[in-house]
Amino acid sequence: MSNLIDQKNNLEILISTTGKNDIDFIENIFFENNYESFPILIVNQSDKIIKKDNQNIKIINTDSRGLSLSRNLAIKNSSKKYCLLADDDIVYKEGFYENILDAFEQNINADVITFMMVDEKGNLFKKYSENINHNYKSIREVNSVVIAFKRESVIKNNIEFDPLFGLGGTFETGEEYVFLRNCLEKKLKVLFRPKIILQHDSKSSGKLAFRDKNIFARAAIFHKFHGSLSYLKLLHHIYLLKRKNLIGCSDFINKFLVGLEGIKKFKSI
């Protein structure tokens, strides 16, 4: 980690937020760190205007709506070698910045690296894969706020978040999977680094796969990438939810019908 001091400003933190009129929320995100030490870009989707005096913070105020649009706007206006996706409800652990830079330094061919997070009790947020190299299966478990990437790799390959997916979109979840899947399909090197970089409330949409809106979005993703096979994929997905006791036997048909509506909606767009 000897070169980290020289690379101190190489990682830009891209924060998506809504309805803010000041940057007080930044102090909670960087509770264990000094936020004035890091380059930060905030995309504030609001009718209100954030003003700031900090030289290390750049703010984009926009009346656009949707998390994926916010992410795309942040990436487009980023300026550092590496970028880290962020939301306004996380808390970075001490040393997170150095851990991310160190990961890229040790894996110079990596285009994207994902990390781990813990819940408010300090427990691992989920059971993380032991695979260092991500594949189509492993990226299903990745949360967007632990994704860091080389800006040039993403920009050069025209990789963006799909506005149909994510909060504020037609399908309210799954935007990070679509993003990472596009990275893999463009032959980018996507790695997993077993380092904890942040804390996030355990009440995350990623842990609520049984909800109708999650199934609705998951089914749309199946059709986006698998076409007519999406119906079998959906059936298998509902079966897995039942096997994990996330839904009951009486829910099986209703959840499948919700998924069919998701496929139908995606096909109509």
Give 77-108 pLDDT, tens digit per residue: 999 999 999 999 999 999 999 999 999 999 99
Q: Considering only the top CATH level, what class is 11-207? A: alpha beta
Encoded amino acid at 169, one letter: G
pLDDT exceeds cutoff 70 at 21: yes
Instruction: Identify the weakest region by mean pLDDT among 86-90, 141-145, 200-204, 230-234.
Output: 200-204
**Closest C-alpha to 58, from 83, 70, 41:** 41
Q: Which pLDDT score is estimated for 8?
A: 65
Distance of CA 62 to the CA centre of its chain: 20
User: Whole-angstrom Cα distance, residue 145 to residue 175?
Assistant: 12
**Backbone angles phi and psi of 192, in degrees to 5:** -115, 130
- The pTM of the full predicted model, rounded to 2 decimals, is 0.92
Report domain extents, the chain: 11-207, 212-268
